[in-house]
Amino acid sequence: MSYQGLTKENGKVDFVKGLEKFPGSKLLGAALVAPLAQYEKVYALPMLTIKDDKGTGVVTSVPSDSPDDFAALSDLKKKKPLREKYGITDEMVLPFEPVPIIEIEGLGNLAAVEMCTRLKIQSQNEKDKLEEAKKEVYLKGFYDGVMLIGKYAGQKTADVKKVIQQDLIAEGLAEKYVEPEKKVISRSGDECVVALCDQWYLNYGDPEWKKDAHRALQQCETYCEESKRGLEYTIDWLHEHACSRSYGLGTKLPWDPKYLIESLSDSTIYNCYYTVAHFLQQGSLDGHVVGPAGITHDQLTDDVWDYIFLEANYDNTKMPVAKDTLDKLKKEFNFWYPIDMRVSGKDLVGNHLTYLLFIHTAIWKDKPERWPRSLRANGHLLLNNEKMSKSTGNFMTLTEAIETFSADGMRFSLADAGDGVDDANFLSAIAEAGLLRLYTFITWVEELLVMKKENALRTGEFNFTDRVFDSEMKKLINDCKKAYEGTNYKDALKLGFYDYQNTLTMYREMCGGLDSNLHEQLVFRFLETQALILSPICPHVTEQIWKLIGKEGFIVNALWPSGTDDVDVVLLKQGEFIRETVWTFRQELKKYMFPKKRDPLPQPTEGLIWIAKEYPMWQKIVLQNLETLAKENNGQFPDNSVIAKTLGKEEALKKFSKKTMPFVVVVKEEFARKGMAALKVACEYDQVEILNINKEYLLNSLDLDYIIMKFTDEPDTPQALQDTIVPGRPHITFSAGKPGLPLTLRNVHLCNGLFDVELEVIDGDTLSAIVRKLRRINKNVKPKHIVTLWRYKDPMAGGRRNISCEDPLAPNVKLNDDAVFKVDIELKKITVDGHEVGQTLVYVAESNE
Ligand SMILES: *[C@@H]1O[C@H](CO)[C@@H](O)[C@H](O)[C@H]1NC(C)=O
Ligand SMILES: *[C@@H]1O[C@H](CO)[C@@H](O)[C@H](O)[C@H]1NC(C)=O
């Protein structure tokens, strides 16, 4: 108290003569008048949990709203021996009941009593439960409480708290005394107290100034909500803030030079000094070297700075530097200011970054164009999931990181470490893996260059697969740009490298897994754009790629890829549809071939695809309800019980009540992956058309010979399928197909690496079906090859005769393109267009280039 102006002399406690010293226990049982209490007289009672190292140790008891106080009072009432131990008589305790003071919604008007009952608190020693009760009551009481009695009955406690405090002080019933929330120990080991000091303050509490700071924040990008909230909170909360100190490094306070400016208050607009520092310093920090502008430190008067920073008029009587020279500095400042981005640690949101806003608005009061454009706060950097610390050895310098992982490898892992205000995490494993992937990528670029030179890549019209890839590239380029603009480098790396590489992998897979099937134009567009969008993170590797693919100039000078505005959204969905379909079909195939607890089945040849054209009426109703619920619930699904209750109200669903919840489960899974799009009642594209376009890919991915498609609204559809298949998610069933006969396809041309292929012919196979089987089995028959089939004129002799090098096809006849195979299993006979063909056909695969 003596440090807070409550004694005559600062820091000195005077014991007035005649005052008595006595132990606190002597006060027990004393009759007291408590300020604002309803009882005229109360008694000082023992409470075991009270702190006795500050003040008198006597505190006001509020059993109505403080669980601790209520528990202590109850103990005394219940336990006669306890009363006796402290010499407390029954009249001092038993007549006193808690008085309702505050009404709290949900807790009633005796919140402490209510919470103690709810948590079954038996005594004042149940510390944990009491702490929990206290938290609940204080929080709700402060924000939701309404006064029931006294001068301010009917008002919210939060609004009258300060007013009542002022009233008490005004009436002489209280003194203002401040204490730290917790015990504070200084570095020297002393306990700290709150003291009034001789200080200079910046009054951040000034309402006008606060308003400007809020305006400055409003027009400022903060990159993440948490920083914005932190800044907002600090602006609101800040009031007088000490800005001087008596020792340390710093600038002397101009109007009171025995003090220094405290460093956080001083570090707010020094960014503007950067704009002219190169004219003034020339490498020296103490001003003993005169910089290129020829200005000495004593010439840098306040008036000079006013001219450079504040557009003051030139006045040679006050400004000891030539106008020309100052204009040069002013031009620099005008060019660079305002700050585009101020980056700082998240621990400086509550001070430096907020002061920076305040001070900018103070110095450039009516010039919002001089206020910072963006502030970015970042977290700390972990190394391999742990805090960096020299003492534990978990430590790495930038130089070490570059030597270990190369500059690009390190930058790769740094970008991946994370942005925002959460702590970032640098992982060595990511740097190593990244480096390896980049190296592999360069090797692949070199291979492609060779293929291009040999014209071994595909050219011509784009097909569906190409167009999907093209749109996906564009979309990722755009998304990646947004991530860079938002300074979200982890996202930029994910979108611009991981995802970008994945679309290439998918594209390759959909093109039969062969580089030669890739479209030359697209794959080179991929290389160029991949280099460009990764170059901010990995400038060296991408510069290398840039050179390899023959681009002019340096990639650092190149522009971001253009022409990416026409992303075809429906096409993207179609691409996703086909990929997902193949993915689920592969799972189905595994399940079919390796049934649980039974012997594995051989690879099937036929697939039957079931497609739902649209949702049946009852499912549409469910979807519409789910959409409404999700919208009401912040884009999330509510609990199943809520869903069931809502759906239960739908008259039209009564007949389907058994099916609705299983259907909800199916939709929920979809929703988890696709969000709101999963609740659309119709498909935006023709599923059959897309499946047909991609039939080849489907057949190859599943190693099937035939695919048949059926709609679920056809009458013979099993009920279970009707109920579970939804538009956009077809289902497949497999079967071994009809039995067939073996047939050998033979290549009779020399030196082209194509050999005999054994396959099975089924009754009704067309020539193109056989060719497909051939291509599937023999991957050396490339898409660029046109395949023709030839039968032997003498099917019995077949290939058992000499082959002429000049005319190897002399003993053969070419089959028509529309030829159909007839297979007689019993007689083991294969005929084509009325001709028996024996067991061997000749195939010719000619490149169309
Ligand atoms: C596009 O062409 C490639 C290469 O021939 C092929 O692998 C792919 O299946 C084609 N896509 C479609 C949908 O036809
Ligand atoms: C096949 O070629 C060999 C060697 O040239 C020859 O001796 C033989 O007569 C030929 N056979 C037929 C059936 O032409």
Q: Which H, E and C letters describe 467-536, residue by residue?
A: HHHHHHHHHHHHHHHHHHHCCCHHHHHHHHHHHHHHHHHHHHHHCCCCHHHCEHHHHHHHHHHHHHHHCC
What pLDDT score does 537 carry?
Answer: 97
What pLDDT score does 214 carry?
Answer: 96
- Residues β-bridged to residue 394: 389
Q: Separation of 792 CA from ligand 2 center, angstroms?
A: 18
Considering every ligand atom, which ligand is closest to the CA of 804? 2
Q: Strand runs (DSSP E) across 404-470, as ranges?
A: 424-426
Considering every ligand atom, which ligand is closest to the CA of 811? 2
Atom of ligand 2 nearest to the CA of 801: 13
Q: Is 636 a pocket residue for ligand 2 (Cβ < 6 Å)?
A: no
The answer to whether 821 touches 759, Cβ cutoff 8 Å, is no
> Is 636 a residue whose pLDDT tops 90?
no
> Is 558 a residue whose pLDDT tops 80?
yes
Superfamily in which the 29-170 domain is placed by CATH: Valyl/Leucyl/Isoleucyl-tRNA synthetase, editing domain (3.90.740.10)
Closest-CA residue, ligand 1 atom 11, reads: 465
Residue 747: pLDDT band with limits 50, 70, 90: confident
What pLDDT score does 731 carry?
Answer: 94
What pLDDT score does 796 carry?
Answer: 78
Closest-CA residue, ligand 2 atom 8, reads: 802
> Is 17 a residue whose pLDDT tops 80?
no
Percent of the chain with pLDDT over 90: 55
- Residues β-bridged to residue 822: 831
> Is 823 a residue whose pLDDT tops 90?
yes
Q: Separation of 838 CA from ligand 2 center, angstroms?
A: 23
Q: Separation of 775 CA from ligand 1 center, angstroms?
A: 14
Q: Strand runs (DSSP E) across 56-121, as ranges?
A: 102-103
Considering every ligand atom, which ligand is closest to the CA of 512? 1
> Is 838 a residue whose pLDDT tops 70?
yes
Q: Print burial letters for 126-157: b (CB count within 10 Å at least 16), e (below 16).
A: beebbeebbebbeebbeebbbbeeeebeeeeb
Residue 780 to residue 778: CA distance in whole angstroms: 5
Q: Separation of 745 CA from ligand 2 center, angstroms?
A: 24
Closest-CA residue, ligand 2 atom 5, reads: 802
Long-range contacts formed by 626-632: CB under 8 A, 24+ apart: 626/664, 626/667, 626/671, 626/679, 627/676, 627/679, 630/671, 630/676, 630/679
What pLDDT score does 577 carry?
Answer: 94
- Residues β-bridged to residue 240: 203
> Is 849 a residue whose pLDDT tops 60?
no
Atom of ligand 2 nearest to the CA of 802: 1
For residue 338, cis peptide bond before it (omega within 30 degrees of 0): yes
Considering every ligand atom, which ligand is closest to the CA of 519? 1
Q: Separation of 802 CA from ligand 2 center, angstroms?
A: 6
Closest-CA residue, ligand 2 atom 1, reads: 802
Residue 272: pLDDT band with limits 50, 70, 90: very high
The answer to whether 379 touches 422, Cβ cutoff 8 Å, is yes
Considering every ligand atom, which ligand is closest to the CA of 516? 1
Provide the CATH number for the domain formed by 741-847 in this structure: 3.10.20
Delimit the domains of the chain by residue range.
29-170, 203-378, 428-567, 599-735, 741-847
Residues 6+ apart with CB under 8 A from 755: 747, 778
Which residues line ligand 1 at a C-beta cut-off of 6 Å? Answer: 458, 463-465, 511-512, 517, 693-694, 696-697, 783
DSSP assigned state of 303: H
Considering every ligand atom, which ligand is closest to the CA of 803? 2
Residue 498: pLDDT band with limits 50, 70, 90: very high
Q: Separation of 801 CA from ligand 2 center, angstroms?
A: 8
> Is 181 a residue whose pLDDT tops 80?
no
Residues 6+ apart with CB under 8 A from 247: 260
Average pLDDT of 819-833? Answer: 92
Considering every ligand atom, which ligand is closest to the CA of 800? 2
Q: Separation of 757 CA from ligand 2 center, angstroms?
A: 26
Return phi, psi of residue 353, to 5°: -65, -35
> Is 503 a residue whose pLDDT tops 80?
yes
How is residue 300 written in tokens? Answer: 């840098």
Q: Is 562 a pocket residue for ligand 2 (Cβ < 6 Å)?
A: no
Q: Separation of 729 CA from ligand 1 center, angstroms?
A: 22
Q: How far is CA 430 from the centre of its chain?
A: 19
Residue 810 to residue 790: CA distance in whole angstroms: 10
Average pLDDT of 23-48? Answer: 89
Atom of ligand 1 nearest to the CA of 512: 7
Helix, strand, or coil (residue 334): helix
Residue 545 to residue 528: CA distance in whole angstroms: 8
Considering every ligand atom, which ligand is closest to the CA of 571? 1
Residue 464: pLDDT band with limits 50, 70, 90: very high
Q: Where is average pLDDT lowest: 109-113, 128-132, 471-475, 778-782?
A: 778-782
Q: Is 802 a pocket residue for ligand 2 (Cβ < 6 Å)?
A: yes
547, with CB counted inside 10 A (0-12, 13-18, 19+), is middle
> Is 529 a residue whose pLDDT tops 60?
yes
**If we measure between CA atoms, which residue out of 227, 272, 228, 266 comes closest to residue 370?**
272
> Is 56 a residue whose pLDDT tops 80?
no
Q: Separation of 727 CA from ligand 2 center, angstroms?
A: 64
> Is 196 a residue whose pLDDT tops 60?
yes
Residue pLDDT, tens place only, 219-247: 999 998 999 999 999 999 898 888 888 88
Residue 587: pLDDT band with limits 50, 70, 90: very high
What pLDDT score does 64 carry?
Answer: 93
For all residues of the chain together, what is the average pLDDT? 90
Closest-CA residue, ligand 1 atom 9, reads: 511
Residue from 461, 470, 511 to probe ligand 1 pocket by mutation (most atoms less than 8 Å from CB): 511
Structurally, at CATH architecture level, domain 428-567 sits in: Orthogonal Bundle (1.10)
Q: Where is average pLDDT lowest: 12-26, 250-264, 753-767?
A: 12-26
Residue 168: pLDDT band with limits 50, 70, 90: very high
What pLDDT score does 739 carry?
Answer: 86
Q: Where is average pLDDT lowest: 140-144, 367-371, 377-381, 533-537?
A: 140-144
Considering every ligand atom, which ligand is closest to the CA of 810? 2
Atom of ligand 1 nearest to the CA of 694: 13
Average pLDDT of 436-452? Answer: 96
Q: How far is CA 429 from the centre of its chain?
A: 21
How is residue 29 written in tokens? Answer: 């049982």
Q: Separation of 510 CA from ligand 1 center, angstroms?
A: 7
What pLDDT score does 737 carry?
Answer: 78
How is residue 315 written in tokens? Answer: 């006045």
What pLDDT score does 769 carry?
Answer: 87
The answer to whether 289 touches 301, Cβ cutoff 8 Å, is no
> Is 202 a residue whose pLDDT tops 70?
yes
The fold of the 203-378 domain, in CATH, is Rossmann fold (3.40.50)
Average pLDDT of 299-327? Answer: 94
Closest-CA residue, ligand 1 atom 6, reads: 511
Closest-CA residue, ligand 2 atom 3, reads: 802
User: Model-level pTM greater than 0.85?
Assistant: no
Residue 672: pLDDT band with limits 50, 70, 90: confident
Q: Separation of 673 CA from ligand 1 center, angstroms?
A: 27
Residue pLDDT, tens place only, 646-655: 888 888 888 8
Closest-CA residue, ligand 1 atom 4, reads: 517
Residue from 508, 509, 517 to probe ligand 1 pocket by mutation (most atoms less than 8 Å from CB): 517
Residue 650 to residue 661: CA distance in whole angstroms: 13
Q: Separation of 743 CA from ligand 2 center, angstroms?
A: 26
Residue from 470, 510, 691, 784 to probe ligand 1 pocket by mutation (most atoms less than 8 Å from CB): 510
Residue 334 to residue 370: CA distance in whole angstroms: 9
Residue from 801, 802, 807 to probe ligand 2 pocket by mutation (most atoms less than 8 Å from CB): 802
DSSP assigned state of 226: H
Q: Separation of 803 CA from ligand 2 center, angstroms?
A: 9
Closest-CA residue, ligand 2 atom 10, reads: 802
Residues 6+ apart with CB under 8 A from 142: 157, 158, 161
Q: Separation of 413 CA from ligand 1 center, angstroms?
A: 36
> Is 828 a residue whose pLDDT tops 70?
yes
Residue 76 to residue 199: CA distance in whole angstroms: 48
> Is 656 a residue whose pLDDT tops 60?
yes
> Is 848 a residue whose pLDDT tops 70?
no
What Rg, from alpha-carbon coordinates, does the chain have? 41
Atom of ligand 1 nearest to the CA of 514: 7
The answer to whether 68 touches 133, Cβ cutoff 8 Å, is no
